[in-house]
Chains A and B, each alone.
Chain A
Amino acid sequence: MSEANTTEEGGTTASKQDTVTLPARPRSRTDLLRSGFGRNLGLVVALVVLCLVGVATAGDTFATGANVLTILRLAAVVGVVSVGMTFVITGGGIDLSVGAMVALASVWATTLATQQLAVDYGWIFMVSTALVVGAACGLVNGLLVAYGKIVPFVATLAMLASARGLAEIISDRRTQIITVNSFADFFGGSLIGVPVLIWIFLLVAAAGWVVLNRTTFGRRTFAVGGNAEAARLAGIEVQRHTVALYVLAGLCCGIAAVMLMARTTTGSSTHGQLYELDAIAAVVIGGTLLSGGRGTIVGTVFGVLIFTTLNNVFTLNNLSISAQSVAKGAIIVVAVLLQQRLARRSTSS
C-alpha cells in the first residue's frame, strides 16, 4: 500500500483534499512529486522507443500520416473502453464484462427495429440505443457490486457471460449488417482531416481526464478506491458512487460499440472479444493501481497507444505470429519495470 501513494497526478490532489478521509495512507512522500509526469515518463520513453524501432525498420511506411491514422483508429475503440475501465479500477473495482457489453450494445443497436427507427428519425436512435444498453448493463454491474455485495470480479464475470449470451439470443448469432447509410457516412467520415472515430476517442479521453482530475467526482473516486471505509466516514456515499463508476464504464462500452459498428458496419455477438484483457493491460501499464486509489487517464491513453503501435510495428515488419505474442508479454513487463524505476527515481530525488 505504501507503493500506492508514491505518486500520481490525481491521487496527490485526493490525499490533499481528503486528508481526513485517508488516515491509512501516509502522506510523507506524496508531496515530493507534484505531477504525474515522472510516472508517465516511462511510458513516453517506451512509446518513443517503439516509434524509433518503427521508423528504423519500416520508415517509409511507418512514418506516414496514413499509418498514424491507422494506429489511432485501432486505438480508438479499445481506448474508449480503457478510459471507462480506468475509473472502475481507480475506484477499487474491476470490470470483466466490457467486451461482452460492447457486443450486446452493438447487437441491440443494429436490430431491424432499431435500424428502422434510425431510417425514420436519424442515426441518433442507434447511437442512443447503444449508449443506453451499455449504461444499463453498467447499472446492473454497479448495483450487484455496491448493494448486492458481490465481489466485482464475480459480478462482472456473470455479466460477461450473460451479456454475450443475450447478444447471441438477440442476433440469433448472425452478424447484423447496418443498412442505415447516414450512420456509416457520419461515423466513417472525417472532420478537419481527422476521422470521426479518433475525435470521439480524443473527446472521451479529455472528458475522462477532466472528470477524474478536476472534479469532486474524481476526488471521490480516488477516496473510495483508496479506502472505502474512510471515504464513508468522510461522508461520501460509497455505494452510490460505486454504481456511478460502473455506469460510466458501461457508457464507455456503449460508445465503443458505436465506434465498432461504424468500423465494421455490423453488429455482432462476437464483437469486442477479450477487450477486458486489452483494457486492463492498458490501464495497468499506464500506472493505475489494480487495487484502486491511484489512477491516470493520460497513462491509460499511453498504454493503449503502446499496444497498438507495437502491433503496427509487428505487422509492418512481417514478424512471426507466435514471436509477436512473446514480445508483447516481454514488453508489458519491461514497460512496467521501467515505469516503476523512473517513478522511484523521481520520488527519491
Chain B
Amino acid sequence: MSRSSVRTVVIAGLGVLALAACTSNTPKSEDKAAPAEQAAVKNDEPGKKVKIGFSAPAADHGWMGAITKATQAEAKKYSDVELIVAEGTNDVNLQISQVETFINQKVDAIVLLPFDGAALTPVATKAMQAGITVVNVDREFDSSFAARTTVLGDNHGMGVSAGTYVCQQLKDKKDAVVAEIAGIDSLPLTQDRSKGFKEALADCGLKVSNRVAAKFTVESGEEAATNLLQAAPKIDAIWNHDDDQGVGVMAAIKNSGRKEFFVVGGAGSANVMRDIKSGNSLLKATVIYPSTQGADGVRLARLLVQKKALGDLVEVEVPRTVQLYAPVVTKDNVDQYLPTAFES
C-alpha cells in the first residue's frame, strides 16, 4: 500500500478519535471522574514510536488468516506503530529464526502466536532477556519468563457456552440426541472444547450421543458430517467446533436433505453470522473464538512499550494474562459481533 493511503487512514482514525474524545467527556459532571476518563482516551494518542515484530503459523485456514489480517489492520490505525510481519510458517525452526531476526532488528516488542508454544519458549525468553517486550498470543509458552503478557481465547469456555445454549434450546427433551463435530482431536484446544461442552450438557442432564472429529478444513468437515448423519438417523442438535470446517458440514447436511435439528457453530466466521442473521438456516448460533487476538496483542504491546496502563482498569500496569470471552452469537445479538467476525 502506498504511504499516502496509510496516512489517510491514520488521519481518518485520528479524526474519529478526536470526535470520540469530545463525546466521551460529556458526562463530566464531577471533577473526580474526569482524570480517569481522560486517561482512558489518552491511550490512543500517538506516543513514542513502537516497532513491533509479528509472527504466526501458516494461514492454512480462515481463522489463522484472519489473525494476521486483523493484526495488520490494527497496526495501521496507529501512526506510532510500525509492524513487521514475518512469513507465516508451521516450521518451528523457521519461526525461531524469525524471532531471532526481530531481536537483531532491535524491535521494541514482539507479538508471537507460536506454532508450538513449548518449542518457541527458548527464543522468546532470549528476546525478553534482550529487553524486548514479548506478547504471547493464543498458544501459551511453558515458561513465565518468555512473555510479559499473554492473550488467550477460551476453548473450555467455548464448549461451556455451546453446551449451555444447547441446554436452553432442548430443556424439555430429556432424550434429546446431541451430536458433536470436533476439530483436530489430538490438539489440547479440541480436548478443552469437548470437555466444556460435556460439562455444560451434563448440567441439564444431556450427553453427547454421537461424536466425530474433522480437521478444521472444509473437506474434512464434509466427510465427518456425512459419516455422522449416516450413523445417527435422528439428531436434535449438532455443535460443530469450527466454522471453517463448518462450510463442509453444512454442505453435507444440505446434501442429506435433513432438517430435524439445529446447528451451533464455533470460532465465529462472518458467513456463519450472516446465516444466523438471515434466520432461514439450520445454523442458529455460533460461539466466538476471537480472531482479533493478534490485534489485541499489538495494542497491548504498544501500551507496554509506551508504559501506559490498560485504560479501563484501575491498575497501572498491563495485566499478565488477558483471556477473551467466548460469547454465544444468536439472531438477537449478531449485529454486535458481525463487525469483528472473520471472513473464511
Structural contact, B122 and A264, CB atoms closer than 8 A: yes
- A residues near B87, Cβ cutoff 8 Å: 311, 314-315, 321, 324-325
Which of B88, B93, B105, B187 interacts with A61 by CB under 8 Å? B105
Structural contact, B122 and A74, CB atoms closer than 8 A: no
Q: How far is the CA of A171 from the CA of B119 in the complex (A)?
A: 14
- Does A300 touch B at the CB level, under 8 Å? no
A240-269 Cβ-contact flags toward B at 8 Å (1 or 0):
000000000000000000001001111010
- B residues near A308, Cβ cutoff 8 Å: 97
- Does B94 touch A at the CB level, under 8 Å? yes
Q: How far is the CA of A312 from the CA of B116 in the complex (A)?
A: 21
CB-CB contacts below 8 Å: A165-197 with B: 168, 173, 175, 177, 184, 188
Structural contact, A318 and B88, CB atoms closer than 8 A: no
Given A61-B104, A318-B84, also A311-B90 (CB < 8 A): no
- A residues near B92, Cβ cutoff 8 Å: 260, 263-264, 268, 270-271
Distance to closest chain A CB from B9 (angstroms) = 17
Distance to closest chain B CB from A74 (angstroms) = 4
Q: How far is the CA of A78 from the CA of B92 in the complex (A)?
A: 12
Which of B90, B96, B101 interacts with A264 by CB under 8 Å? B96
Most buried by A among B59, B117, B119, B120: B119
Stretch at the interface among A64-72, A147-155, A206-214, A335-343: A64-72
- A residues near B59, Cβ cutoff 8 Å: 321
- Does B85 touch A at the CB level, under 8 Å? yes
- Does B217 touch A at the CB level, under 8 Å? no
- A residues near B90, Cβ cutoff 8 Å: 270, 273-274
Interface residues on B, range: 20 to 34
CB-CB contacts below 8 Å: B66-84 with A: 68, 83-84
Q: How far is the CA of A324 from the CA of B94 in the complex (A)?
A: 14
Q: How far is the CA of A320 from the CA of B98 in the complex (A)?
A: 14
Most buried by A among B87, B96, B103, B116: B87
- Does B45 touch A at the CB level, under 8 Å? no
Which of B88, B97, B105 interacts with A73 by CB under 8 Å? B97
Which of B86, B91, B116 interacts with A315 by CB under 8 Å? B86
Most buried by A among B84, B92, B122: B92
Structural contact, B91 and A70, CB atoms closer than 8 A: no
Q: How far is the CA of A66 from the CA of B101 in the complex (A)?
A: 9
Which of A64, A273, A312, A318 interacts with B91 by CB under 8 Å? A273
Q: How far is the CA of A280 from the CA of B68 in the complex (A)?
A: 29
- Does A316 touch B at the CB level, under 8 Å? yes
Structural contact, A266 and B86, CB atoms closer than 8 A: no
Q: How far is the CA of A175 from the CA of B105 in the complex (A)?
A: 30
Which of B98, B101, B122 interacts with A263 by CB under 8 Å? B122
- Does A77 touch B at the CB level, under 8 Å? yes
Which of A70, A264, A275, A321 interacts with B119 by CB under 8 Å? A264
A291-311 Cβ-contact flags toward B at 8 Å (1 or 0):
000000000000000001001
Structural contact, B118 and A67, CB atoms closer than 8 A: no
B119-152 Cβ-contact flags toward A at 8 Å (1 or 0):
1111100000000000000000010000000000
- A residues near B118, Cβ cutoff 8 Å: 175, 177, 264-266, 268
Which of A67, A74, A265 interacts with B104 by CB under 8 Å? A67
- A residues near B93, Cβ cutoff 8 Å: 74, 77-78, 260, 263-264
Q: How far is the CA of A147 from the CA of B177 in the complex (A)?
A: 54
Q: How far is the CA of A276 from the CA of B100 in the complex (A)?
A: 24
- B interface vs A, CB < 8 Å? 59, 68, 83-88, 90-94, 96-98, 100-101, 103-106, 115-123, 142, 186-187
Extra contacts, 15 of them, besides A61-B105, A273-B91, A316-B101 (Cβ < 8 A), are: A61-B104, A74-B97, A173-B186, A175-B116, A175-B119, A263-B96, A266-B119, A274-B91, A275-B91, A314-B87, A315-B84, A315-B86, A315-B87, A320-B85, A325-B87
A-B contact pairs, 7 of them (CB 8 A): A67-B101, A70-B104, A78-B93, A268-B92, A311-B87, A316-B105, A321-B88
